[in-house]
Amino acid sequence: MSCSFIFQAEVNYLGQLSHPNLVQLIGYCCEGNHRLLVYEYMACGSLEKHLFRRVCLTMPWSTRMKIAIGAAKGLAFLHGAERSIIYRDFKTSNILLDADYNAKLSDFGLAKEGPMGDQTHVSTRVMGTYGYAAPEYIMTGHLTARSDVYGFGVVLLEMLLGRRAVDKSRPSRQQNLVEWARPLLIHNRKLLKILDPRLEGQYSNRVAMEVASLAHQCLSQNPKGRPIMNQVVETLENIQNLPENREDILFLCTDSAVTLYEVPKEIANDNLETKASAGNWESKSDIHGRGRKKFGSGRSNSEPPPVEFSQYTPSPESDRNQPNMESVDHNRIPRPSNNWVYDF
């Protein structure tokens, strides 16, 4: 496809369409063989940068779901236009983020008008990005709105697992994310093991399973088995409104991607009052003394005594008992052989 055709498609679509989840075209310039498009400024760059570049902080779960809903609304708007528009190149690098992490679709160079009337599909040359294109579109060239739904499922899977759609650096069976992960999305225990470990503690199991189930549907090999984008938006918003996502239950610190849990004051006060009334308060010395009494030698009476070492027992009041390391006979300390294997 020529650059002029892509440039013209960008200008035509973005010049006519306006939606909060589509990037705004400010202007363009065409001089000789040079082409220039001017978008609105997107302060946070692309979703791809935040998901996969190590220099960035981990994107929290709540932000990922916010972006997923915004991107889904953008696709739903395109599919619901008077003459439906098929985006055809939905991927993380084409989802731009403003200063508040609102998602906006960009790069309409491959967009194409959808079928009209009794048509079920549009026949076209296969174009797009490997790993995101729907399998039926690759095999037949038949393009429908459900092809975009498949691409959305791939991006949703990337946000869940924190992995690229295609990653040649991984073991051979894991290089294609959809082929490897899709069968695991409907097995709860296996699913929880493959979710992005950087998000641990930021979501409930129920919420993660609901999102994974939606991704599984979007990635169906049968196009008719995939939901339409309006249904995807509705499902994501319903998940977002689940009690598990209430901020008074789960507080997410988005700046450093740390999840904090707060014990209700009533429960904490009740526990303190119960301990006080039961007379369970102990002094610091009592606790330390009781703790030392619990530890034994760890051997039976028939075993020979262990090799004696200089031991150091710190005093809580002072540091006068610092050991004299020069007095320790290091030749008496057993050393590991060179054949030991260390497991770090």
Instruction: Considering the candidates 89, 107, 148, 196, report the single residue annotated as catalytic.
Output: 89
DSSP notation for 117-186 = TT---EE----S-TTTS-HHHHHH-EE-HHHHHHHHHHHHHHHHH---SB-TTS-GGGSBHHHHHGGGTT
Interior angle at CA 221, CA 218 and CA 226, nearest 5 = 35
Three-state DSSP state, 116: coil
- C-alpha 132/C-alpha 303 separation (Å) is 66
Q: Which two tokens stand for residue 328?
A: 């320790």
- C-alpha 229/C-alpha 244 separation (Å) is 24
- C-alpha 77/C-alpha 104 separation (Å) is 12
b/e burial code for range 62-80 (CB count within 10 A of at least 16 → b)? bbbbbbbbbbbbbbbbbbe
> Is there a catalytic annotation at residue 167?
no
Three-state secondary structure string covering 195-255: CCHHHCCCCCHHHHHHHHHHHHHHCCCCHHHCCCHHHHHHHHHHHHCCHHHCCCCCEEECC
- C-alpha 67/C-alpha 152 separation (Å) is 12
Active site residues: 89
